[in-house]
A and B are shown apart, each in its own frame.
Chain A
């Protein structure tokens, strides 16, 4: 595995190893932070923060993601972790690398339409009422939903993997 030098400024030694945030206009609009207690793998935390920033409008297409070197220096993490996160974002079609410049946002995260959300919420409320009637308290409901949610996505992603990677590149 090689380090993508395109993400680091040319010519080894760079003064002022990025302690201070880059001045507005030149760097990325966002800054990563890590939650050591979350148990979520570091690269996934970076991916999720980009997605979150996209949903909240902090990031839009054309924006640059923090340079690998800057993330590495400010968070003290392995550069391969950052590269893995950026590869994952590229795989999802959300970002793309530009040789010699860095990684840039290429898409937005589409939100589900509002009327559909309302219907889904109504169905969920009906289900919650029946869970309550069956005697489940709040913690019990959370536990049940969490475990069902995990099972569902494990199964869905698992069967998608097995079906092959035909859908790759569609994104």
Chain B
């Protein structure tokens, strides 16, 4: 099942397209990280999936084909907007009461026991809680609805390192206990490496790359070798980023598979998630057709270097 699926999805505010030709399938059971610079269209994509805004073109379905914003979709999705919004004058108990009455399903026992574990005083006004506690309160309210899909918009941005870790621990535990799928947008690349197992990379309103993190890491390599030969690869291999000096060049390339032969005289190094993301966001010419994914037929192998036997 796909927890989110878009077809030629686009959104325009007046003259500006903030999201264009987005074709994306996010499978269930993952923590998917939505990554991109400011203005990439992340928040717009999330709001479209939740049903808070309507598409200008194309369509989006969630939870295996439910139209975004339909009653079934609303029941199965929990969304925490940026900066963990809670009513500042209401206490945690009040927020639980409110959320319980505004939603069809609500696990009251989970909510109260979780707040107890977190040490959040039930009577204290939300505005008086620390940033980390406020974020945890919003997350607890969202999880108590027992969603199939949890959508978090920049949940870590305002939190200190300890609060970030506690917050993600709560999210990961919900994944392990209930099989919740998670879609999370973030700038904090380093923290995503351990938690995200699916990556959706956006920039300038367009989808750049989408795929399982392990697959993406397996098919990207940094090739280091003589600068003079660097241009030979331009055709057969997809070069994401080139860094070259007089003699030596580093190419971040997308290979057709993990077992692709390395050209003679070149050394291949694995890439980290952070390196991969930055390379895609930095290099200008990577406006790939929307929907680029690993399911595409592999690029033709380099003619000469494939003579390497293994």
Pairing of A with B = yes
Chain A residues within CB distance 8 Å of chain B:
1-3, 5, 7-8, 12-17, 34, 36, 39, 41-42, 68-69, 72-73, 75-81, 84, 154-155, 158-159, 161
B226 CB-CB contact with A under 8 Å:
no
A2/B177 contact (C-beta < 8 A), A13-B109, A34-B194, A158-B310 known: no
Given A2-B29, A15-B113, also A78-B172 (CB < 8 A)? yes
Say whether B196 faces chain A, with CB atoms less than 8 Å apart: yes
B178 CB within 8 Å of chain A? yes
Total A-B contacts with CB atoms under 8 angstroms apart = 85
Q: Is the CB of A78 within 8 A of B169?
A: no
Q: Report the separation of the CA atoms of residues A161 and B259 in the bound assembly, to the nearest whole angstrom.
A: 10
Q: Which of A3, A41, A72, A77 contacts B179 (CB 8 A)?
A: A3
Q: Contact: B30 with A155, CB < 8 Å? A: no
Give bound CA distance, A69 to B178, whole Å.
11
Q: Are A8 and B310 in contact (CB under 8 A)?
A: no
Give Cα A9–Cα B17 distance, bound, in whole angstroms: 47
Nearest to B191 among chain A residues (CB) is: A76
Q: How far is the CA of A81 from the CA of B179 in the complex (A)?
A: 14
A-B contact pairs, 15 of them (CB 8 A): A2-B179, A3-B176, A3-B179, A14-B177, A41-B214, A41-B217, A72-B169, A72-B172, A73-B173, A76-B195, A79-B175, A80-B31, A81-B194, A81-B197, A159-B310
Known: A1-B28, A34-B194, A77-B195. A17 touches B173 (CB 8 A): yes
Inter-subunit contact A155/B310 (CB<8 Å): yes
Number of interface residues of B (CB under 8 A): 31
Which residues in B have their C-beta under 8 angstroms from that of A76?
Answer: 165, 168-169, 172, 194-195
Task: Please name all residues of chain B whose beta carbon is closer than 8 Å to the beta carbon of A84 when the two chains form the complex.
Answer: 214
Apart from A12-B178, A14-B177, A78-B175: 11 A-B pairs, beta carbons within 8 A: A3-B179, A8-B176, A15-B113, A72-B172, A76-B172, A76-B194, A78-B172, A80-B31, A81-B197, A154-B310, A161-B259
B117 at the binding interface (Cβ < 8 Å): yes
Instruction: Enumerate chain B residues within 8 angstroms of A80, measured Cβ to Cβ.
Output: 29-31, 197
Within 8 A of A (CB), among B139-171: 165, 168-169
A145 to B69, CA, bound (A): 59
Complex-state Cα separation, A45 to B29, whole angstroms: 22
Give A161's nearest chain B residue, CB to CB: B259
| Closest A residue by C-beta to B146 | A12
Closest to B112 in A: A13
The smallest C-beta distance from B209 to any residue of chain A, in angstroms, reads 19
| Chain B residues within an 8 Å CB radius of A15 | 113, 117
Best-surrounded residue of A2, A3, A5 (most CB of chain B within 10 A): A3
Task: Tell me, in angstroms, the Cα distance from A12 to B28 when the chains sit together.
Answer: 20
Q: B27 on the interface (CB 8 Å rule)?
A: yes
Give chain B interface residues in 166-218, CB to chain A under 8 Å: 168-169, 172-173, 175-179, 194-197, 214, 217
From B169, B177, B217, B272, give the contact of A12 (CB < 8 A).
B177
- A77 to chain B: closest residue by CB: B194
Determine the chain B residues whose CB is within 8 A of the CB of A12 once the complex forms: 107, 110, 177-178
Tell me the minimal C-beta distance from B263 to chain A in angstroms: 15
Residue of A nearest to B217 (CB): A41
Question: In the complex, what's the smallest C-beta–C-beta distance from A13 to chain B, in angstroms?
Answer: 5
Q: How distant is B275 from chain A, measured CB to nearest CB, in Å?
A: 11
Q: Cα distance A59–B272 when bound, in Å?
A: 31
Which chain B residues border A34 with CB–CB below 8 Å? 194
A57 to B147, CA, bound (A): 43
Given contacts A3-B175, A3-B176, A17-B173, contact A78 B197 (CB under 8 A): yes
Tell me if B172 and A73 are in contact (CB < 8 A).
yes
Answer yes or no: B114 CB below 8 A from chain A CBs.
yes
Closest to B178 in A: A12
The smallest beta-carbon distance between A74 and chain B, in angstroms, is: 8
Which 6 A-B pairs have CB atoms at the shortest separation, nearest pair first?
A: A1-B29, A79-B176, A3-B179, A69-B176, A72-B172, A72-B176
Partner of A5, one of B30, B110, B179, B195: B179
